[in-house]
Amino acid sequence: MDLSMQGLIDMAIPWAIKIVGAVLVFIIGKWIAKKLTGVVRKLMERANVETTLAKFLGDLTYVGLLILVIIAALGTLGVETTSFVAILGAATLAVGLALQSNLSNFGAGVVLLLFRPFKVGDVVEAGGALGSVEEIGIFNTKMKTPDNKLVIVPNSNIVGGNITNFSAKDTRRVDLVIGVGYDDDLKKVKEELWNILNADERILKDPPPTVAVSELADSSVNFVVRPWVKASDYWPVYFDLLETIKTRFDEVGITIPYPQMDVHLKKED
């Protein structure tokens, strides 16, 4: 064997050792990353973390660990990893600045999934939209409006404003304002309203309904009618009460006045 071949062998052996070492570091490190990610996911499952959030955080953990494994493997090869880490940090910062709004939505999504102000199936008003929640994602929430439109709302808009959850409680109060004429018998009006409420089995006895005079308006005496119902019965009871009150008032001669104005004409010679 000539000297040149011997020299090549002498150079190749250290590199071969480094390559084998780097491959072993990568394989073993990848295996450890998978195991650690599995442990993290199990801990989140025991803590009842939302499935979507648990999956995302698990994937994020695995990617982060895999990046560390790659850096370690490159170090085993003799690559200067300090500059590589600096470049990676700068790239991460640049991407973070470019995706600032998305990161804001991500943070808001984590808040929604952790604190759960609403869940899938709830009817909510949030982020300028009203509808039934179909999906709570990491970056946005999908809602179906009452007229069957799909609205995709950024999570930052939801967390940054008020959230009204119409499904959070088992019961809701129906608020109606019923106006009658000044010439009508108020006791009779009140009695008829109570009869209508007592005849509807969907109206709860506890808490009890409220029927009371609330305002002496310009053209009418206004009653507030406030029965309590199950949340699922809210709209059926709301619509049925309006129809029943109008029909009953017509039958017993109670008037629901139109807005009116008295005009006085002054005659001058």
Q: In this predicted model, what pLDDT tens digit does every residue of 244-263 receive, in sequence order?
A: 999 999 999 999 887 766 67
pLDDT digits (tens, 9 = 90+) for 237-249: 999 999 999 999 9
Task: Report the alpha-carbon distance of residue 228 to residue 205 in Å, rounded.
Answer: 8
- Model-level pTM? 0.61
pLDDT digits (tens, 9 = 90+) for 221-241: 999 999 999 998 999 999 999
Select the more confidently predicted residue: 76 or 108: 108
Q: For 138-146, which contacts have Cβ atoms below 8 Å and span 24 or more sequence positions?
A: 138/52, 138/53, 138/56, 138/105, 138/106, 138/109, 138/110, 138/113, 139/102, 139/105, 139/106, 139/109, 140/105, 140/109, 141/112
Q: For 21-28, which contacts have Cβ atoms below 8 Å and span 24 or more sequence positions?
A: 21/76, 21/77, 22/73, 22/74, 22/76, 22/77, 23/73, 25/69, 25/72, 25/73, 25/76, 26/69, 26/70, 26/73
pLDDT digits (tens, 9 = 90+) for 167-221: 889 999 999 999 999 999 999 999 999 999 999 999 999 999 999 999 998 889 9
What pLDDT is recorded for position 99?
47
Structure tokens at 6: 């011997």
Whether 72 has a pLDDT exceeding 60, the answer reads yes
In 3D, which of 202, 207, 212, 206 has the Cα closest to residue 176?
212
What pLDDT is recorded for position 97?
47
Ranges in the chain annotated CATH 1.10.287.1260 = 13-98
Ranges in the chain annotated CATH 2.30.30.60 = 116-165
CA 187 to the chain's CA centroid: 46
CATH number of 13-98: 1.10.287.1260
CA angle 94, 95, 97 (to 5 degrees): 65
Residues of the chain above pLDDT 70, percent: 80
Measured CA distances, 24 to 14, 16, 39, 70, 245 (Å) = 15, 12, 23, 11, 81
Three-class SS of residue 125?
Answer: strand
Domain 171-252 grouped into CATH 1.10.3720.10: no
CATH number of 116-165: 2.30.30.60
What pLDDT is recorded for position 84?
61
Q: What's the average model confidence in pLDDT over 111-137? A: 88
Ranges in the chain annotated CATH 3.30.70.100 = 171-252
Task: Report the alpha-carbon distance of residue 242 to residue 1 in Å, rounded.
Answer: 105
Task: Report the alpha-carbon distance of residue 233 to residue 123 in Å, rounded.
Answer: 14
Whether 3 has a pLDDT exceeding 50, the answer reads no
